[in-house]
């Protein structure tokens, strides 16, 4: 049973295109933006045990189908924004952007988190998919994490309780979600780390199509190769279905060039996989998570 306090923070039939980086997607039955961790725990206790729950951050690497999402979507960005040094560790809540963590680490004379500046998402999403770039991954620098279950109970879990691999994290317990993490970062020069962040962002700007809405990298890189190279070698740069286009700037990005639907993107993903398999003999593994119903 929802309390009056919870209901005032709940949006019904909310279009999810506003919360995804592709700017597409149908409506969520219910959408909730918690004000803090205590508030999140409260709303979780009011959700029926059999109702689907989805957590999203900035909505990157996420495709919401045009028919929308049945259940409750909880948006962590604009909430859970605590960021501080906790003894020797950098602590960040799940709603903090990865770029902010990188800059905070630099400002506090810590190194090892610079790569996070190149990840267009939040800490929660980076933890959930072991996001990474330029040779580093999120779980390389994790010490402990804070999770919450659907009954609103929090748990401090050690890194060793999780099985992590390239763009994949196996939770030790189902239906727990990341709400924070402690990062173990060695001491570093603020000037040097700031320079690394600046160089990384310049590389990202030069190589990625940041002038169009996109979902980030569409496919995982196969071992010893790059998804973008395989897609480009298959003649797919610039290929378009509806308003979804394989970026002419970076072949592993699908961009929304206008009038795009989630179905356009999903059909383009399927086409890219089929063409790369036929022409290159490689089965691409999708990095983008797809949720929701078809229209």
Residues 186 and 258 in one domain: no
Q: Is the pLDDT reported for residue 3 higher than 60?
A: no
Q: Domain count of the chain? A: 3
Examine residue 157 and state whether it is found in any structural domain, yes or no: yes
In a domain, 242, yes or no: yes
Q: Are residues 69 and 97 in the same domain?
A: no
pLDDT mean over 259-272: 98
Residues 92 and 189 in one domain: yes
Same structural domain, 11 and 48: yes
In a domain, 9, yes or no: yes
Tens of pLDDT, residues 223-237: 999 999 999 999 999
Q: Which of the listed residues 149, 169, 194 is the one where a domain comes to its end?
A: 194
165: phi then psi, degrees, rounded to nearest 5: -150, -170
Tens digits of residue pLDDT in 17-75: 999 999 999 999 999 999 999 999 999 999 999 999 999 999 999 999 999 999 999 99
Residue 2's pLDDT is 44
Which of 55, 75, 95 terminates a domain? The answer is: 75
Q: What is the pLDDT of residues 109-138, one digit of tens each?
A: 999 999 999 999 999 999 999 999 888 999
Q: Average pLDDT of the chain?
A: 94
Report pLDDT for 270: 98
The verdict on 62 and 142 lying in the same domain is: no
219 CB contacts (<8 Å, ≥6 apart)? 227, 231, 252, 272, 273, 284, 285, 286, 287
Give the CATH number for residue 25: 3.30.43.10
> Is 15 a member of any domain?
yes
Of 194, 226, 247, which residue sits at a domain end?
Answer: 194
Whether pLDDT at 4 is above 60: no
pTM exceeds 0.75: yes
> Which residue numbers are catalytic?
167, 217, 287
Please state the rounded mean pLDDT for residues 169-175.
93
Averaged pLDDT for residues 276-286: 98
The verdict on 149 and 65 lying in the same domain is: no
Flag whether 136 is in a domain.
yes
Residues of the domain holding 50: 4-75
Distance from C-alpha of 74 to C-alpha of 243, rounded to nearest angstrom: 28
- 89 plus 68 within the same structural domain: no
Compute the distance between CA of residue 18 and CA of residue 179 in angstroms, rounded to an integer: 22
Task: Give yes or no: residues 112 and 178 share one domain.
Answer: yes
The answer to the question of residue 199 being in a domain is: no
Burial of 246 (0-12, 13-18, 19+ CB in 10 A): buried
Structural domain contains residue 201: no
Whole-number pLDDT of residue 150: 95
Residue 62 to residue 287: CA distance in whole angstroms: 9
155 and 102 within one domain: yes
| 138 and 186, same domain (yes or no) | yes
Residue 215 resides in a domain:
yes
Residue indicated by tokens 């290929």:
239
Residues 164 and 131 in one domain: yes
pLDDT at 5 over 80: no
* Beta strand 244-246 pairing with 253-256: antiparallel
Look up the CATH number of the domain holding residue 239: 3.90.78.10
Is 154 in the same domain as 220?
no
Within its chain, how far is the Cα of 202 from the centroid?
A: 21
Mean pLDDT for the stretch of residues 158-168? 95
């Amino acid at each position: 049973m929802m309390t009056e306090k919870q209901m005032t923070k709940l949006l019904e039939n909310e279009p999810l295109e506003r919360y995804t980086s592709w700017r597409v997607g149908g409506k969520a039955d219910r959408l909730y933006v918690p004000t803090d961790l205590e508030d999140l725990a409260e709303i979780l206790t009011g959700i029926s045990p059999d109702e689907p729950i989805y957590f999203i951050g900035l909505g990157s690497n996420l495709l919401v189908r045009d028919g929308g999402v049945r259940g409750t979507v909880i948006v962590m960005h604009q909430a859970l924004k605590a960021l501080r040094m906790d003894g020797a560790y950098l602590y960040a809540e799940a709603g903090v952007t990865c770029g902010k963590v990188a800059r905070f680490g630099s400002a506090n004379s810590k190194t090892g988190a610079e790569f996070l500046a190149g990840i267009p998402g939040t800490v929660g999403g980076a933890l959930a998919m072991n996001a990474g770039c330029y040779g580093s991954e999120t779980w390389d620098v994790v010490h402990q994490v804070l999770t919450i279950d659907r009954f609103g109970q929090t748990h401090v879990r050690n890194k060793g309780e999780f099985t992590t691999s390239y763009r994949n994290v196996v939770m030790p317990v189902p239906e727990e979600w990341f709400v924070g993490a402690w990062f173990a970062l060695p001491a570093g020069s603020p000037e040097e780390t700031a320079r690394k962040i600046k160089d990384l962002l310049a590389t990202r700007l030069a190589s990625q199509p940041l002038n169009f809405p996109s979902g980030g990298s569409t496919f995982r890189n196969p071992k010893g190769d790059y998804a973008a190279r395989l897609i480009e070698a298959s003649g797919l740069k610039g290929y378009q279905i509806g308003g979804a286009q394989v970026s002419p700037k970076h072949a592993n990005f699908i961009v929304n060039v206008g009038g795009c639907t989630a179905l356009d993107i999903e059909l383009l993903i399927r086409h890219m996989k089929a063409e790369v398999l036929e022409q290159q003999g490689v089965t691409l593994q999708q990095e983008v998570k797809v949720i929701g119903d078809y229209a």
